[in-house]
Amino acid sequence: MKKLRDSQKNMYPHSEVKIDLLQKYLEIYLNVLSNTFVRKIYLYDLFCGFGVYENEGMGSPLIMLQEINKVLVAEKGNKIDYQCFFNDYNQENVAKLRKNIAKKIFNFSVDNVKYSCEDYRSLISEVILEINLFSSHEKAFVFIDPYQYKGIDFGDIKSLLQSKKAEVLLFLPTQFMFRFESNGTPESLKCFIEELVPYEEWPKSATGIDFIENLKSHFKIKLGEDYYVDTFVIKRDEGQYYCLFFFTSHIFGFQKMLEAKWDIDKNEGRGWCFTHSSDLFAGQKSSVTLKFEMELKRYLLSGLRTNKGVYEFTLHNGHLPKHANEVLRNWQNEGMLTVLKKDGEMAIKGSYYLNYQDWRKNPDKVTFQLNCK
């Protein structure tokens, strides 16, 4: 049996941040779905580890079960059937996980927890097939946190998403990928990149952050406008960046992941912490804030835009409706922005309708006109 690295046995700070995002998203995700037509939710952890680190840190399987338990306790009943699937190629890890779970008390049957010890490449096709056979009342969340990137194919992520029934959270050791991008590039990295773009067309990255942005950009291009992609960057040491990539076909699920991200990094929503401020645009503006403001300005100047379009644009750019509302409010106060209702009349000041319900039911409730001198 291959000896485990210390980072696989003990929870390091960067792993704690990764688990924090998972916990915050699942807390929102499960509560939202509990009030919909969904009747069965599957949670897959395909590199589950043993659940509790030697330094007592809780791993992803225990976090999944904990969040399910919270929903069941709050509901005082079981409106939704939850199924968890935990896999690790290391049989010893799975044996320890079973014991760690048995020590806990949960409000649902252990029969709802399945275990396996399969190789990821053998397993992923089975998971894709299973999810593609789901009914309209079933949903899945797939967490892929590999020990390395070898064997992780973007085509698998795309196949999971095409069912329109799954969200995927993928961790990639992007620092190691960036390190070998130009020097001694291994075949596994070349194959990964060539799923996105011919290797010779891959833009060279100056920094680890550039590499992450290049990946995100090509993921978006490869998936198209019907899918949503965003990143959660984890800074381990100076100049060392790792990244969680979130994928979904559902715009509201995407908004909820962004909310979890911004809850952790309130200043820039990137993933690591900066000085927090209650007002995103108070004082010195961050580079992320300035970039979003400039891109939103270009978007509105390129033609008439409705609340539906601005809502989609905001999320695709990794920001929340409240961020766009604040920019629009500033412009409206400065006399740069006009907001019109369908009948051509002026909308009530400050009414922008950038939310999921209006996106669905009133996509052209208002139109925005930006006039810059």
Q: Where are the domains of the chain?
A: 6-264, 287-370
Cα 366 from Cα 339, distance rounded (Å): 6
Is 193 in contact with 202 (CB distance < 8 Å)? yes
pLDDT value, residue 282: 41
Tokens 């946190």 sit on residue = 145
Angle separating helix axes 251-264 and 307-316, nearest 10 degrees = 50
pTM for this prediction: 0.87
pLDDT value, residue 286: 57
The rounded average pLDDT for each run of 10 residues, N- to C-terminus, in the chain (373 residues) is 48 72 91 87 95 79 93 77 95 93 80 94 96 95 90 93 94 89 84 92 91 94 93 80 92 92 81 40 55 94 95 94 95 95 94 97 96 73
Cα 80 from Cα 363, distance rounded (Å): 31
Write the single-letter amino acid at 311. Y
Fold of 287-370: Arc Repressor Mutant, subunit A (1.10.10)
pLDDT value, residue 287: 60
Helix (H) or strand (E) holding 107: none
pLDDT value, residue 315: 95
Determine whether domain 6-264 maps to CATH 3.40.50.150: yes
Cα 127 from Cα 116, distance rounded (Å): 12
Phi-psi region of 269 (alpha: psi -120 to 50; beta: other; left: phi over 0): left
Sheet holding 81-87, edge to edge: 113-116, 81-87, 40-45, 138-144, 166-172, 241-248, 228-235
Nearest to 82 by CA among 59, 57, 107: 107
Write the single-letter amino acid at 44. Y
Cα 268 from Cα 272, distance rounded (Å): 9
Number of Cβ within a 10 Å radius of residue 328 = 21
Helix (H) or strand (E) holding 321: helix 321-333
The answer to whether domain 6-264 and domain 287-370 are alike in fold is: no
